[in-house]
């Protein structure tokens, strides 16, 4: 895929992601889909309206009617697509910094597009220009007023509302000034929670924090948890398809630990879980603990969704899938990441015990991550060649489905190029933090000598 990566296309606004580009992608998608109506959604970014207007114009110009959803979480656009049997275009750069924006495409089943359809659309963009409709056949637009309420209801109906309400939880919430500002606070209140918020005013400049929900951006939320004596802190990324948690003591919960706890609850013997090649040993332990099978894909929601769809088509039960960054998929609910649904499912777990106790069985590992910046593709290829040599000589089991992952008896290490930035990422995880650091240092030294 040249244009679309593993989570759509993203770039700097008016540099890589221009209104012209958005219009061309929309014309190509509108033609390849052959749908009469398509939904258009966006997150809170300053460029969102500009690009959503271009997308809507592009769709209209090839004769497609448009449902304008305005600012909604990415999972709410997936919901609208699935509930109404129409594809969707989402203008979002998810967790990237404010100057970025991007485009995600969703099929009529509410699942992110498969690689084959994305490639057809790419070809249409590259071949351009797309034939346009006659004056009396251009598309119309309508605004969908109840799209947030419809999404909130879909989540409320799919969780154990009575158990969460009975627990009378106090929640601290940080929706990152993003699309979750409009939906997660009312959802939590309707689940009977007392809700305290930070960064909950929709603002595409993201003044309170960067949209990526990593611990260094969540210090205000940790303080809020302590200040209001909350049972849990919840943080989203900019488009609210991810949820990460802070425990009742104000300490961040590793995204792999919350994924492992949810997986242990969801899986039974004979089930399959899908995760990516950087999966934490915490998740491996949880899956093995219940006798389920773990399937790994390259990193990125597109690859996970494709594998889940294949497995379920073959009658394999896949009750949960996801990555350690808070992006979790519950396929029986919907094959798409959903921050609010994930948060509500985690509330079910803390209804009868503290959050720290829920994740306690999954806290025994340490992950170390380092990045090596490269200047150009020649430099990148040289680094990867050295990584390959090092990985092949290292003892352990080598997995090359996305970069180089080596599993040894007591640790694993992964070297792979980032899908969105000019960086080689190096990860290692072990029960002993020094062992993890040692592996990362050895790998980076081998590449950078
Ligand atoms: Mg996201």
Among 47, 57, 94, 154, the one annotated catalytic: 94
- Backbone angle region of 21, left / alpha / beta, with phi > 0 → left and psi within -120 to 50 → alpha: alpha
- Rounded to whole angstroms, the Cα distance separating 115 from 52 reads 23
Residue 8 has pLDDT above 90, yes or no: no
Token reading at 341: 């649904």
Residue 420 has pLDDT above 80, yes or no: no
What are φ and ψ of residue 430, in 5° steps?
Answer: -155, 165
pLDDT, residue 34, reads: 84
Average pLDDT over the chain, rounded to whole? 96
Residue among 281, 293, 259, 282 nearest 412 (CA): 281
Token reading at 429: 């995880």
CA of 211 relative to ligand 1 center, distance in Å: 9
Token reading at 167: 């627990």
Average pLDDT over residues 69-79: 98
pLDDT category of residue 2 using cuts at 50, 70 and 90: confident
CA of 94 relative to ligand 1 center, distance in Å: 4
CA of 363 relative to ligand 1 center, distance in Å: 25
b/e per residue 163-178 (b: at least 16 CB within 10 A): ebeebebbbbbbbbbb
Residue 306 has pLDDT above 90, yes or no: yes
Count CB atoms within 10 A of the CB of residue 233. 30
Q: Return the bridge partners of 141, or none.
A: 66
Average pLDDT over residues 60-89: 98
- Rounded to whole angstroms, the Cα distance separating 333 from 277 reads 24
Mark out the alpha helices in 108-254 (DSSP H runs): 115-127, 147-156, 161-167, 184-190, 219-227
pLDDT, residue 370, reads: 94
| Sequence-separated (6 or more) residues with CB below 8 Å from residue 53 | 19
DSSP 5: B
CA-to-CA dists, residue 329 to 106, 244, 336, 337, 343, angstroms: 15, 14, 5, 5, 12
Residue among 315, 262, 256, 327 nearest 290 (CA): 262
CA of 335 relative to ligand 1 center, distance in Å: 14
Residue among 96, 58, 55, 46 nearest 69 (CA): 55
DSSP 94: T
The alpha carbons of the chain give a radius of gyration, in whole angstroms, of 22
CA-to-CA dists, residue 61 to 37, 39, 56, 126, 155, angstroms: 12, 15, 9, 18, 35
Residue 366 has pLDDT above 70, yes or no: yes
CA of 234 relative to ligand 1 center, distance in Å: 15
- Rounded to whole angstroms, the Cα distance separating 404 from 420 reads 18
pLDDT, residue 4, reads: 85
> Which value, to the nearest 10 degrees, does the dihedral of the CA atoms of residues 172, 176, 180, 186 take?
30
Whether 94 is catalytic is yes
CA of 179 relative to ligand 1 center, distance in Å: 10
Residue among 206, 210, 213 nearest 245 (CA): 213
Give, to the nearest 10 degrees, the angle between helix 115-127 and helix 19-33: 120
pLDDT, residue 130, reads: 87
pLDDT category of residue 449 using cuts at 50, 70 and 90: low
Determine which of 148-157, 179-188, 415-424, 439-448 has the lowest per-residue pLDDT on average: 415-424
All residues with CB under 5 Å from ion ligand 1: 94, 237, 239, 241
- Rounded to whole angstroms, the Cα distance separating 438 from 273 reads 30
pLDDT, residue 128, reads: 84
CA of 374 relative to ligand 1 center, distance in Å: 25
The string of pLDDT tens digits covering residues 320-332 is: 999 999 999 999 9
% of the chain exceeding 70 in pLDDT: 100
Three-class SS state of 443 = helix
The string of pLDDT tens digits covering residues 256-302 is: 999 999 999 999 999 999 999 999 999 999 999 999 999 999 998 88
Residue 3 has pLDDT above 90, yes or no: no
User: pTM score, two decimals?
Assistant: 0.95
Token reading at 213: 């929900």
- Token match 């605004």: residue? 143
Average pLDDT over residues 172-190: 98
Burial class (CB in 10 A: 0-12, 13-18, 19+), 63: middle
pLDDT, residue 5, reads: 77
pLDDT, residue 448, reads: 80
Report the Cα–Cα distance between both ends of the chain, in Å, rounded: 32
pLDDT, residue 419, reads: 78
CA of 139 relative to ligand 1 center, distance in Å: 29
CA-to-CA dists, residue 123 to 59, 88, 366, 378, angstroms: 17, 19, 43, 26
Token reading at 84: 């109404």
% of the chain exceeding 90 in pLDDT: 94
Is residue 358 within 8 Å of 351, Cβ to Cβ?
no
- Rounded to whole angstroms, the Cα distance separating 55 from 19 reads 8
Average pLDDT over residues 92-111: 95
Average pLDDT over residues 120-137: 94
pLDDT, residue 391, reads: 94
Three-class SS state of 64 = coil
Three-class SS state of 325 = coil
CA of 408 relative to ligand 1 center, distance in Å: 32
- Rounded to whole angstroms, the Cα distance separating 123 from 94 reads 25
The string of pLDDT tens digits covering residues 187-228 is: 999 999 999 999 999 999 999 999 999 999 999 999 999 999
């Amino acid at each position: 895929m040249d244009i679309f990566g593993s989570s759509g296309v993203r770039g700097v606004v008016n540099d890589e992601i221009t209104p012209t580009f958005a219009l061309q992608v929309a014309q190509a998608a509108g033609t390849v889909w052959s749908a009469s109506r398509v939904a258009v959604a966006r997150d809170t970014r300053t460029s969102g309206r500009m690009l959503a207007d271009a997308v809507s114009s592009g769709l209209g110009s090839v004769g497609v009617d448009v449902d304008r959803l305005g600012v909604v979480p990415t999972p709410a656009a997936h919901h609208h697509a699935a509930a109404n049997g129409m594809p969707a275009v989402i203008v979002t750069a998810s967790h990237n910094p404010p100057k970025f924006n991007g485009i995600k495409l969703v099929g009529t089943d509410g699942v992110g597009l498969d690689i084959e359809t994305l490639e057809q659309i790419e070809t249409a963009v590259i071949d351009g220009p797309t034939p346009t409709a006659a004056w009396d056949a251009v598309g119309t637009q309508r605004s969908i007023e109840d799209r947030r309420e419809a999404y909130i209801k879909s989540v409320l109906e799919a969780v154990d509302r009575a158990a969460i309400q009975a627990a009378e939880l106090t929640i601290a919430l940080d929706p990152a000034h993003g699309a979750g500002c409009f939906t997660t606070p009312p959802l939590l209140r309707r689940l009977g929670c007392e809700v305290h918020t930070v960064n909950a005013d929709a603002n595409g400049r993201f003044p309170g924090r960067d949209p990526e929900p990593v611990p260094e951006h969540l210090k205000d939320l940790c303080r809020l948890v302590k200040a209001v004596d909350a049972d849990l802190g919840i943080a989203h990324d900019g488009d609210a398809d991810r949820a990460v948690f802070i425990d009742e003591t104000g300490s961040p919960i590793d995204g792999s630990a919350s994924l492992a706890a949810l997986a242990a609850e969801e899986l039974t013997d004979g089930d399959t879980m899908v995760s990516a090649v950087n999966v934490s040993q915490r998740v491996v332990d949880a899956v093995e603990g219940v006798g389920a099978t773990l399937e790994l894909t390259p990193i990125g929601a597109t690859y996970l969704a494709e594998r889940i769809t294949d497995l379920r088509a073959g009658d394999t039960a896949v009750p949960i899938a996801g990555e350690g960054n808070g992006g979790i998929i519950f396929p029986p609910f919907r094959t798409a990441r959903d921050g609010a649904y994930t948060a509500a499912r985690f509330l079910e777990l803390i209804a009868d015990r503290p959050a720290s106790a829920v994740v306690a069985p999954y806290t025994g590992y340490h992950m170390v991550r380092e990045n090596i910046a490269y200047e150009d593709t020649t430099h990148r290829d040289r680094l990867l060649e050295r990584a390959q040599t090092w990985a092949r000589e290292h003892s352990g089991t080598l997995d090359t489905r996305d970069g180089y992952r080596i599993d040894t008896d007591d640790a694993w290490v992964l070297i792979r190029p980032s899908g969105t930035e000019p960086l080689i990422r190096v990860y290692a995880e072990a029960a002993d933090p020094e062992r993890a650091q040692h592996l990362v240092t050895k790998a980076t030294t081998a590449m950078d000598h």
